Each structure stands twice: as structure tokens, then as C-alpha cells.
Structure 1
Amino acid sequence: MLDQLLLARAEFIQRVSDTVLNQLLDKLLERGVISDEEMQSARTKSRAEKARDVIDSVRRKGEEASSFLIAALCQLDEWLSRELSLR
């Protein structure tokens, strides 16, 4: 999963919508993948910076966190997850 996110990183940063990012942040917080402080910090940034923060912080947290991010993205934006070859 880490490799999948690394390969999809640039496209994810460029193409994910702000709406999907905010929903991902909510899901990541609910699951305990990110802290409230990490979520609040990400929400203050531009869309691209927020996307970069989300994917990089989740990748650093390992396989389980990465798998959860991929599953959540597939649920929230099936088209983008297919385009990024994330399943």
C-alpha cells in the first residue's frame, strides 16, 4: 500500500478535490489515523498543501493507515481512485 500511495502521490495532490480531502480528513480522524491537531493543521492550508499533508502523513504511519486511506478514497471518489490505480 505504501508503494501504491507513493506512485499515486503527485496525481493525488494535483487532482483530489477539496471536498473529498475534507471528507478524508474526517474519516481519518474518526478512525484515529490522524490526531485532531493534524486535522486542524491540514484544514488551514491550500488544497494542494492539504493533499500533500494527508498523503504524506498517512504514508509515514504505515500499511494499516495507508490501506484505510485507499479504502476511504475508493468509497468517496471511485473515479479518482480508479484513475490513480488505487484499489
Structure 2
Amino acid sequence: MYQAPHHAQIGYLVWAVLFACLFAWEAIGLINPTDSFPTLSQTLKAVMRHQIGRWVLFAAWLWFGWHAFVQGWHFLLRGPEL
């Protein structure tokens, strides 16, 4: 049976905690809509009102996409390495 290296397991744990915090934040904001605790969509709307906020979010999206999908990826149609 394959066992992931210890540093990979820590990475998975960190991602799980980050997503759990994100879902908890959204849940707290949605439980009572009249409360002053903002949801994620309200926060993104406030950031995207300004052009610099849109550029920062776009840069963060590109950075995340590069690190999540492209880094370490090998082109499928590349010929065999000699």
C-alpha cells in the first residue's frame, strides 16, 4: 500500500483546515443575515469595487492556478525523453 510522505500529509492537513475555516466563515455569515458578520461574497464584492482589488484577486487566482495545476505538470503529448 502506498503511503504519502510526511510532508504531503501535513500539506493535506493544512488544506483541510483552510477549507474548514472558509466554510465556517461562510456558515457564520449565513446563519443570521442581519448580523454584521460578512459572507465571502460580500467581502469579495467590497474588494472588487476598486480596480486594484480586481487586479489583486486576478493575480491571486493566477498564482493559485499555477501552484495547484501547472507546477510539476508534464505535457501529455511530449515525446519520450532520450
Q: TM-score, normalised by structure 1?
A: 0.28
Q: TM-score, normalised by structure 2?
A: 0.29
Give the greater-gyration-radius structure (CA).
2
Structure number having the greater helix percentage: 1
Higher RCO, Cα 8 Å, sep 6+: 1
